[in-house]
Every structure is written in C-alpha cells, then in structure tokens.
Amino acid sequence: MQNLRTFLSGVEKLGELKIVRQADWNLEIGAITEISGSDPNPPALLFDEIKDYPAGYRIFTNMFQTQSRTALALGLSTELRGVPLVQAVREMLHVSSPLPPVIRKDAPVQENLFLEKEVNVLRFPAPWLHRQDGGRYLGTADAVITADPDAGWVNLATARVQILGENRVSLYISPGKQTRLIAQKYWEQGKSCPVAVVCGIDPVLFAVSGLGLPWGVSEYDFAGQIQKAPVEVIKGVTTGLPIPASAEIVLEGEIPPPDVEAEIEGPFGEWTGYYASGTRPAPVIRVKAVYHRNDPILTVMPDFKCYPLSSYVHLIFSAAQVWNEIEQCGVTDITGVWLAEWGLRFFIVIALKQRYGGHARQAAHITLGAREGGYLGRFVVLVDDDIDPSNMADVLWAVSSRCDPQTSIEIVTGCWSSPLDPRLPPFKRAAGDFVNSRAIIDACRPFSWRNEFPKVHSIDPEFRRQMREKWANVFK
Ligand SMILES: Cc1cc2nc3c(=O)[nH]c(=O)nc-3n(C[C@H](O)[C@H](O)[C@H](O)COP(=O)(O)O)c2cc1C
Ligand SMILES: [Mn+2]
C-alpha cells in the first residue's frame, strides 16, 4: 500500500523529483515552489536541510502539479491526460464499494511523541509562504479529522492551519463545509470539538480530503475504495480519533467554541490569487499532542493565483464529480468536463453531444444546483462534442464563434459562494452574505438549426498525417 515515501520513490522513477537543500522556510520555499511551478513540466520538490532546522526535517511541495504525478498517485496510467484522465477518475467515483479503515496497534508516526507541556509545533519547519501572509502555516496540504458526535462517522477535510504559538494553532473553515458543521454540533452543547490534523500526508488521503463527499460518507472509506485496500489507522493518543498509519506528522487537540476562544486568522495568499478572506476571528485548536516519524516530511501546498496551477488532482476530481452529478440527474451524452487551469471552479466547461432542445442548459442548471458544481463558481461554459473542454484555445474559439451574447448567456442568482470570492462587494462581506451570481455561457450550436450552422474547416487527421510525413523537412 502506498504512503508518502513510496509515492516519492515513484515520482523519482518518473524523473519528476528534485531535492533542494538549505532553503529558508521564511519566503524562500514558497517562492521556489511558485517559480518552479511556472515551468511547463514542474518537478516535485523535496526540501531538506532547511534553515534553522535539523537535516531530515523535510518539506514536500508540488505534489500534484503534473497530470502524470496525479495519475501515479491514483494508480492510473501516467500517460493519461485531460478528459480521459477525468473519465478514469469518474469511474473510480462511480463504483460504490466503500472500504472502512482497519485499526493497527502501532505505526511509524508514533516514533516521536510529545504530550501537553512538551508540545511545540515549531519543531517543524512550517513555511511563511507569501510575503503579506499573517504568519507561518503548518497545515496547507493536510487533513483535518473530526467525527460527527451523533452518528460517529469520521470526516477528513483539507483546511489551512496557522501557527499561533507553541501549542496553539488556528483553523480556517468555510461556512457550510462539513468540519464546521460537525464542530458546531459540539459547540452548541458548550463542548470543545476533538480534532486531529495530519500535516504530512499520503497522496490518496490528501486527494480525498479536498473532496466534498455527501454528509455521512467518510473520506476514509472512500480512500479505501480508490486504493482498493482499506486505509490503516491507529487510535489517536488523546482524542481516540482514527489517525492514518501512513501519517508523517500529527497534531491532536480540541477546538473550543469560538465564543470561548477565537483568534484572528490570516491573511493567507489564496488559490484565487487574492487575499480575499482577509483577517477575521477563527476557531483555535488547543494542541494536546504532537507526534511524528523520524525525519518527518511536512506536505505543503502554497496557493498561487491558479497559474501555476498548484494541483491537478483537485481539478480532475472536481471535474469528475460535476460530470457524475449531471449524469446522476439523468442527463446523458456528456463527452467531457474540465475546469480551466486559470480559473478552476470559477470556470467550468461542459462538453456534450446535444440530443434535444434544452439538453445543454439542463446540464448547466444541474451543475449549479448540485453540491460540488454549485460551490464557489462563476461561469459554466457549454460546448459541443467536437470541442475538447480541456483545451482552452478550443473552448474560447467556440465561445467566440457559437455564442450569441443576447440569447446564449443566462444569469443565475443566489448561489453558494464563500469568503474566498474576491468579487464579493464589501457590504455583502460585512453582512456575512456569501452569495454570488453565475453566468451560463451556451457556446453550443443552437439545437434547432445545428445542421445549418456553417461547417468547420480544418485539416482532417489523416491528411494531416500524410502531409507531415511527405513534408517532414518543413515540419522538423
Ligand atoms: C490545498 C487546499 C486547501 C484548502 N483550504 C481550505 C481551507 O483553508 N478552508 C476550507 O474551508 N476549505 C479548504 N479547502 C477546501 C476543502 O478541503 C473542501 O471544500 C472539502 O470538500 C471540504 O471537505 P468536507 O466536504 O468534508 O467539509 C482546501 C482545499 C485544498 C485542496
Ligand atoms: Mn466530508
């Protein structure tokens, strides 16, 4: 079974791993990651001998910046790209055979254990990522583990964790997300919510922690399904929560009700490219235990302004989920779904083979009404099946040539947004009104006269091949 270290060996075999020595946790690791990410095929980076820290206390970034590493982590062919990769992930999501975790007695993550007064989260080289950030973040590529106090199911979700002091960190959780809904159940009873944070995490658990699964469905069971083997867990030292045996670094503690204890969180450079959520009071974790493997690896995902894209795995999972949401509502003939690398969930593209009038718009309205497709978006673009939704040149060509702005653009209001939305006006932000509008851009040929739409001209693939062969000296 895969853990972070076996994944690292796999990445090395792909020729996609670079070791960086003696970088500073203060701004350098963030900057090196961002600059290297602008290259066409960025390697994964393993930082060692980090300034102020003993050798062996490492940081791993760029985990999922290429589609090949994404496929490798998910056990798929590393040759897959674009829509075929989304299709493969979609099939994984379709099969409903959740595998609950199995409990082990011990794991390497218990090699070093610190309790209560010995707790110091600064023993890890948590980076200061972007210059105007409000502090050092220990949790970026992490999983925050909580359990529903009523039904007992266990939730894993990626959320950023800022260091406040040796045994205090803060947690940013968007309204409506399951970690917040679970914590609120404890808080309503005046109790603290037990929590564990895994901040050196294996790729499959990291991938599923970014997913919005239905209420009551544990990301653990789903990870088991994906990797075709149950996740191995140990029992958390102070909370009893299940902790992945593959973890590198774990914090355990409790989140008191925010009216008892809250702290200003942020600002943090977000994936949108902005400091949109600014600073605001956020829940605090009182850390009761810290444990880690020898020579621990902290997983880090600094957010950039979508380009360089920090993660294909989240793009591809999101696209696969949107596609499944459409099909689950009975709408067929979707030929591809993608999120533009430069806008992600703000720019969803759906390709389909139109079968009847209104078919394309149905797909868009389902997307906006469903949980994954309906969160924090802005544009849903509809294209015909001759367009590759993962090729933005193709998509913009379709928008430019097949869309009549007056009749092809539809506005939907009252949609689920988030404090991360940079376009929320200040008065709405101040009122806690995290709701925005969406545009459906229908760039499909109008169904009723699709056969009269001017024909497309371009070289057919066979003639293209013949010409390339015959004129090889021209095309060298
Ligand atoms: C790298 C990364 C960082 C994220 N940071 C946060 C965050 O700080 N706060 C948050 O609420 N969601 C964050 N998310 C999004 C959540 O992980 C995502 O919405 C997830 O579906 C929530 O899980 P849940 O449905 O179990 O609540 C992040 C996602 C990724 C991939
Ligand atoms: Mn969940």
Helix or strand run (H / E) with residue 307: none
Beta bridge partners, 410, equal: 440
Ligand nearest to the CA of 282: 1
- pTM equals 0.95
Q: What is the pLDDT of residue 241?
A: 98
- Report DSSP state, residue 210: T
Q: What is the pLDDT of residue 244?
A: 98
- Tell me which CATH code domain 4-299 carries: 2.30.110.10
Domain spans of the chain, in order of start: 4-299, 329-452
Cα 126 to Cα 26: distance, rounded to the nearest angstrom: 9
pLDDT averages per 10-residue partition of the chain, 476 residues: 90 96 98 92 96 98 95 96 97 85 97 97 98 98 98 98 98 94 98 98 96 93 93 98 98 98 97 95 98 98 87 96 97 98 96 98 98 97 98 98 98 97 97 97 98 94 96 93
Query: Which ligand 1 atom minimizes the distance to the CA of 314?
Result: 31
Question: What distance in angstroms lies between residue 215's CA and the mean position of ligand 2's atoms?
Answer: 6
Residue 407 carries which side chain, given as an amino acid letter?
T
The environment of the single-atom ion ligand 2, i.e. residues with CB closer than 5 A, is: 155, 178, 213
**Residue 267 is encoded by which pair of tokens?**
């600002």
- Report DSSP state, residue 57: -
Q: What is the pLDDT of residue 421?
A: 97
Domain 329-452 belongs in CATH node 3.40.1670.10: yes
The pick from 70, 140, 177, 280 for probing ligand 1's pocket by mutation, whose C-beta has the most ligand atoms within 8 angstroms, reads 177
β-pair type (154-157, 143-147): antiparallel
Buried-exposed string 97-127: b where 16+ CB fall within 10 A, e elsewhere: ebbebeeeeebbbbeeebeeeebebebbbbb
C-alpha closest to that of 232 among 99, 331, 143, 117? 99
Number of neighbouring beta carbons within 10 Å of residue 11: 24
Ligand nearest to the CA of 372: 1
Beta strands in 306-447 (DSSP E): 334-339, 347-352, 379-384, 409-416, 435-442
